[in-house]
Every structure is written in C-alpha cells, then in structure tokens.
Amino acid sequence: MDGLFAVYKPQGVHWKHVRDSIESNLLKALNSCPPPAPQLAVQFQLLSSGENSSSSKDLALSPTMVPTLADHPLVTGPQFHKVHVGVGHRLDAFSSGVLVLGVGKGNGVVKVCYILYDYTLEGEFGKATDNFTDTGRVIEKTTYNHVTQDKLERVLAMIQGANQKALITYSQVDLRTQEAYELAVRGLLYPLGKSPPILMGLRCIHFNPPHFSLEVQCVNETQKYLRKLIHEVGLELRTCAVCSGVRRTRDGPFKVENALTRQYWTADSIIQAIAHFHKTTRRIRKSGMYRQTAGQMNSRAEVQEQIRSQTGQSEQINRDEFSSSASDTVVDRETPVTMSEGRTKPC
C-alpha cells in the first residue's frame, strides 16, 4: 500500500491529529488481518509401552508435525507496530480544506513542491484583531458603510496587478522577448526557485457587508499570509477587516471533491483513494516536481525550444535578406560606372 491521497481537514483540528488518526486506523486494519499459517516443525515423541512390541530396553520414537509457537501473535505481539504517513503542504489549526498525505513510497512524493493552491477566504469588515482572525483580541473598530462591491473589486485588481509584476520578476523571463509573451498566453509563468508569496488570481465571489468571500490562487503562501491579506484589503478600503475562515479547495491535482471526510478515514476508503490517484502519483514520481499540471514543465520547455527555433529561423532569414540586399547594392553601385565607361565623348 503506497501512494498519495487527500483528506479534508476540519477547522480547529491540528494536522498532526489528522495524521495520527489515519496512522492509527491503518495500523488497526493491518493488524486485524488474519495472521499467516504457522510454520510446522518436526517433533519426535516416545511411544507408550502398549504400542511398543519390543523389549522395554528399546526406545521407539514417532515423528510428528506440530506448529511452532515462535511466530504466534500471543508471543510476538501485533504484526505491525508503525505505519508512517507523510504530510504535504500543511494547514494550521485555524484553516480547513484539502490536506495531501502519502503512504509507503508516496512519502517520497508528498514532499514535492506543488506550485498552485486554491483557497476560499471569508472576511468581515468593521474590526481589527491582533492575529487577523475573528477570534483574536479586538484592537480597533471602524465603520464600513462606504464600502461597495465595485470599490472592493478595484482594490483586488490593484493587488493582483502588483502580484503579476512580481510573478514576472521571479519567473526570470525577459518581458521584451517572444518567450515571455508565449508563456503568459499559455499560462505557464511561475516563479523559479525561492520567492515570496505570489497571488496568481484574486476575485470576490460573495459580498454581503460586513461579510465577504474571496477566491485566491497563490504560490508559496502560508495561511498567516492569507489572513493578513484580508486585513490589508480592509486598510485599502479605509476600514478594517478580519479573516473568519481559510479553506483550501485545491492542492495541485487534488481537489476538495476528492478529499476524504472524517467518517471515511478508514483503510478501505484510503486504499480506494490511493488507487484513484495512482496515475497521478506515478507522473509526479517520474517528473520529480509537480507544476500546476503534470506536464507543465515539459510544456514550458517545449515553448522555449519552439521560440528559440523560431528565433533562429528568423535570424537566418534576416541574414539571407541582408546578404541579398547587400549584393544588390554592390551591383547598383557598379552599374553606373560600367555605363559611364561605355559612353562616347561628345563631339
């Protein structure tokens, strides 16, 4: 049993508790399986005097097969003592949503850096707290009657524009090249190496003051950064805002529809989930890194190679055109000289 699967972590539960619960359920299921048949050993037994027809001085031994007790569960205890479950991009206790876990060989894949995460953020206007959540200590209260959905969307567009500039900067692509244009059109721009949190998408999906909801697509983020984002949105609107919920709806290829809720944290459901994502796990293991889709890195490499080949062809065409134009110029310059030499002098 090895591979990746996703569970839904409830709000208010630490990710370690989720991992320990799943490890305990898997361990109970493995140890509840019937033990293998015991090994047999040859044992010699003495025959009784009635069965022995010879003299009493001769001993008769009868070989028999008896099960050995060295491998008996009452002697060795449970067959399995530990099941290691790896955790991918973690969620803090305040957040909820998709949490990717790995078992067996999946532990080496679950640590792979997934590039894109989707979140739904719940916000509330009118107050500010010390930890940007609605359960923190209130440090300020303000009015929010002047906030409209149009103003909120303009602020979100401004924040997304600043993050798009940061994305281009950390993607290490020259804006003046055809490569940058092609990658931007195909949506293959992503930061290379280490970078600060970058918002790939940001929009309002619900607005009912003082409550509102945002849909966020981001990379290299933390849940604390997302809660602070709600606070900064409130400041841009000249009010205050706190985050009342952070919910991850997608972690790479794992969506919230595929996540196992608490009542399905059983061995049978986990095995079915691992089998469902078997092909995805194999692609991740082969590529070594996952980028928004399994073939995104190859797509970007293909785009770069295609752009280089097109650039090389255009340079060759320009070279040929320049050579032909230069030869034409030489001919044009030499032609008048030849004509002047052929002229006859006037009488």
Q: Which residue has the tokens 């003299």?
A: 55
Task: Report, as residue numbers or ranges, the catalytic residues.
Answer: 92
Amino acid at position 300, single letter: R
